[in-house]
Copies of this chain bind each other. A is one copy, B any other.
Amino acid sequence: MQRYFLPNDQFDDNKVKINQDDAHHMIRVMRMTVGNRIICCNENGQAALCEIENISANEVEASIIEWISEKKELPVSVTIVNGLPKGDKLELIIQKGTELGASKFIPFIAARSVVKWDAKKGAKKLERWNKIAKEAAEQSHRTIVPVVHTPVSLKQLAELEKEYTYKIVAYEEEAKQGETSNLHRNLSSLQAGDSILVVVGPEGGLTEQEVSFLHEHGFTMCGFGPRILRAETAPMYVLSAISYQTELMR
């Protein structure tokens, strides 16, 4: 069933109002009619089964049939931090990472990030990234939309450590030296409600300075298996492993 994420103020006791892009999608793209059913999620991650009652040019009104209880979210909150990559790689990371259950994405301006961050053009990019997260959340039947943050510096990244239960770094030098147990040790300790911050370098990898700075701030270096994963593949690996460990192994 088609799913839409709506601001809380579009819900009232037993009705939902859908407008703008979402209404366009329902009316023009999906060609929905009165009587069709949809799922509407509010900003608190609650999902309501709704039935369309009225369609006007730019707005759809639906009645709430029932609030449903869904277990779609990972039992832990995962933030993916990516060294700002080239081209549209971050779009792929956000789309796939959202399907795989990430809660938040924070790009980080790494020493080897080739792309420079331009605050002016950046606002548009950020808007686009958040739109990709919303669409992927709808398609993958999430109950929350992950947030994409403005890029941070290494120092700002290290300051985030206090907010997280676990902090890990995907580090291919560890993988080359055959480090295989840190990721499992961290993931198997995760408890429901914990939060984990995962740092992945840009295409050229993290520098030794970045790695030791993060190490000093309580981050654990982890190998993600013996093969060299691209910058956009490592987040998919860790999110899949977290789902496997916390959702399928228990």
Contacts and interface: CB of A to CB of B under 8 A. Distances in A.
Interface string A206-250: 000000000000000001111111100100111011011101110
Contacts of A96: 233, 236
Contacts of A142: 227
Contacts of A243: 224-225, 237, 241
| Copies of this chain present | 2
Interface footprint category on A: 35 or more
Interface stretch (A45-53, A123-131, A157-165, A180-188): A180-188
A155 B43 CA distance: 47
Contact of A181 (B180, B227, B240, B248): B248
A245 B184 CA distance: 9
Nearest to A136: B230
B140 A229 contact: yes
B228 A139 contact: yes
Interface of A is mostly: loop
A120 interface: no
Interface string A128-159: 00000000000111100000000000000000
A72 interface: yes
Contacts of A183: 244, 248
Chain B CB within 10 A, most for which of A181, A241, A248:
A248
A187 to B, nearest CB: 8
B139 A230 contact: yes
A100 interface: yes
A31 interface: no
Chain B CB within 10 A, most for which of A70, A140, A225, A238:
A225
Interface of A: 70-72, 96, 99-101, 139-142, 178, 180-181, 183-184, 223-230, 233, 236-238, 240-241, 243-245, 247-249
